[in-house]
Structure 1
Amino acid sequence: MNKPPPAVLQTPGFAHFAVAWSPFHTTRLALASSANFGLVGNGRLHLVSVVPGPNGTLATTLDKHYETQDGLYDVAWSEVHENQLVTASGDGSIRLWDAMLHNLPIRAWHEHTREVFSVDWSNLKKDVFVSSSWDGNVKVWTPERPRSVLTLHAHQSCVYQAMFSPHQPDLIVSCSTDGTLRMFDLRTPSYVTGPGTNTFTTPLSTSVLTVPASGTEVLSVDWNKYRPFVLASAGVDKLAKVWDCRMVKLGETGQIGGACETQLLGHEFAVRKVQWSPHRAEILATASYDMTCRVWNTVPTAGRPQLLHIHDPHTEFVVGCSWSLYDEGVLASCGWDSRLNVFRV
């Protein structure tokens, strides 16, 4: 039986960079978008509803949008307030929005000195979120404070993504143009703050684990939701890779890193996003500059392929994908063709 076509939302003039499902509302998602492919101009935050229809079909409606003075590169929903979400901007700022109040952010921070490329809200320590920037820094925030709680000088170059672990509230992983994944443990003595310490002016930089993941830029990383210390990464080398950080080994440069469990080959250009399924430990989604979003079984049984699904209606780079938290098998993809697709795998 043929699967129903994807639900589509077009936002002319704004290329999408990220999509995220609400952890509270089963049918609500957010889109972070930029004019002129994020090179110059303003941005827009879209709030979208996905409505189930007959025979498994889906439909999308644009509920609301917010204009910003610079492009938006990422968005994350609050784990505390159902109507709040935070965005990452090209002007180095981070803004907190409330969908029920007004058209202006309810709080804004501007500590990063270059583009903020990712934001992620902790689902364990629910009052904090993390950001990463092209300035090489990763910062931890709480909405109640006017400045960051902690600064990690994570890499010497652009940090494309930083994420809290879904298993340990004090673990953060980051990925960078330097080809590495780095894990930081905020419980280590060097991160303890107190009288006389100031991590705002003196960033911390010691990682507990460094994984030399690629010879080129690593663009995305994600924690497996069921297997602690298992990560997926992807980047310019066109590969998605699965790492087990418990299988520690010493690299040629003396760095302590994890072992690669598997490599997923098939994309024709750089892989811009990886995300593990929230429902099944072995299922991974990827989005690529080859204009496709793909779904993989990272632990296939004998005779079964690793590649399960190719979604290819997009006509430009696909840079974001996100699994529905409530409806298993529903995936959203977004790209530079100003198009959001929501479909069943």
Structure 2
Amino acid sequence: MATTLLLDPGVLSENPVLELYGWTAVEVRGGLAVLPRRDQWLQALGSGVEAVGLPSRVAGGDFPQAVVHLQKGRAATQEGLSTAWRNLGLGGRLLLVGGNELGIKSAVKRLGEELGQAGDLLVNRARSRVVSFERTQHSGPEPPTPPEIEVEGGGEVFTLQSAIGVFSADRVDRGSRLLLDHLGVVECPTRILDMGCGIGVLGLAALRRWPGATAVLADVDRRAVGAATQSAADLGLSERCQTSWWDAVQEKPPSSNCDLVLVNPPFHTEKKVDLDPARAMFRSLVQVLAPGGTALVVANRTLPYEQQLGGIGRLRMICDEAGFKLMEVHRS
């Protein structure tokens, strides 16, 4: 993996590190890691690493070195580079690390053009690179602006704050769209859990549809949770909405006795298919659903979830279209 290149001789100095989207360097040199994913944050804390969930939580540091792990999305990488640059002392080193499959060569070229320096190639092996840039008086990489998205639900349109680096940051994904279109199959719930809420599309739409309901919106990505929290406030829903930064695999569910659970589970970790978070969410349904409660689960048509869901309660296929399936689980 590209991260192991940081441990090559001469790559890191002996000084503390600010590390964005990883903790390999902080584990050996000390400092602070920025880890938006709750699962990674928990693992880092278990290893004795100091970590925060958001780039904005880095409080005016003056680090001698910073590491940014190249991200799949360009905007997330840009946010990491901007945060690192702002928190480096003059003459400090900014290390960009990543693999060829993520476009490290192009990312290094863009950053070099933006900073007006070529960068120093420290390591080039295993189809990955580590490149160093010097912190100068240059203003540095511009931070990206989080987008807003429009959501149609219940015959109305409303706007949600999105976040850099989250799933489907600039539009409602097709799975959520399908579930939104079929919310009407449920009759007036009072206690809702949006499990894997992202920026809150499903949970906030449900609260607008049913003004007598309360909801907990939970997600593994701290950036998504922050956006959902902001949108709930913007829409005047804060009194009926709680948000939770939550990892389904390692932690207990953040709510119970729910009569409606909305689930659009992730099935990728970076580029790999990973069904563990979805299966952990399904196991949590046993603890979360009240007797007579309903879970609406949307998923890619090819994913093999029916057997596990059928063991929780009565399973009904609501629809199968455009590559996605919507299932209802009713707990007796």
How does the TM-score come out when normalised to structure 1? 0.26
Where is the strand percentage greater, Structure 1 or Structure 2?
1
Where is the helix percentage greater, Structure 1 or Structure 2?
2
RCO higher in structure (CA 8 A, sep ≥6): 1
How does the TM-score come out when normalised to structure 2? 0.27
Give 1 or 2 for the bigger CA radius of gyration.
Answer: 2
